[in-house]
Chains A and B, each alone.
Chain A
Amino acid sequence: MIEIRWHGRGGQGAKTAALLLADAAFATGLHVQGFPEYGPERMGAPITAYNRLDSKPIRVHSNIYAPDIVVIVDESLIGAVDVTAGLKNTGSIVVNTDRPPSSVRELFAGCPGAIYAIDANEISMRTLGKNLPNTPLLAAVARLTGIMPEDEFIENMEHSFMHKFSTKPEVIAGNMNAIKEAWKGAVLI
């Protein structure tokens, strides 16, 4: 089982990203869970969302305390929230940051695993014209989990976006560009 914990702020789309990842993993035949931190929605408040992906049926219904992957949608959460709490020694971090790669690892002292940095804000601004870092991060996480190859993922996301944005199709192309750029854009620190 792969357990993923998303850290974001209310309104940044961490929950949507978790649900889209669940969608993509589901399409590959996996058993999935995608769920937000349960509570009132408060714009800007630190929130968490979760994914479990497994080849077997998933029975656990708790939050995730020992994740395989931590995704940090908003760099300003580091320090404010213990984003790496319980992260497995072999676990990975995906962080949205514009820091130079050389100064990313120092953000996560004591984390021996792989760290992937991606400037999701920049990709989002360029491709979507606004700051919605969840879509680029989703692509980075999908690549990291290895749930499906690039072309399959892109096709899958296009399908999801067409469904999700059926009432505002003008945003689909931007989101698809964000996905494509971000697939390649994550840097292993």
Chain B
Amino acid sequence: MIERNLMEHMTETSGWRDLSPAAQVFGEGNSIFFNTGDWRSETPSWNRERCKQCLLCFPVCPDSSIPVSGGKRHDFDFEHCKGCGVCAKTCPFGAISMFLGTAPAGASDAAIAGGARAAAAANTNHAADKTSAAPAAARAKGGAK
């Protein structure tokens, strides 16, 4: 994994001279610097008791947001999880459930990584814009389905 985002200085406001030639991407694995967690409107919740560590979930995650080490999965990478729910559909043991909202279930604000917290706040506003149903904050606390 690279330590520094070599594309950092190239943004949506960069002029043509400041973009890499032919939009070449410098440095490998730099999608880590692109926090897609703030795209989330539903959030997965992992039930450790029900999980058999069968590892069927992590390969189907389109955003590599289920970290695996030592032959075991760990809790979601909420900085990058877009809340697509594919993992929940795949899990044969009902160990993953989806709930409306952006904040990870049971996570205190302090437990949420800084980026994800900011993203969660932003997304709450987006969600509120898009729906006239119950207030976003209430939905976010709605718990597992």
Complex A–B touching at CB under 8 A: no
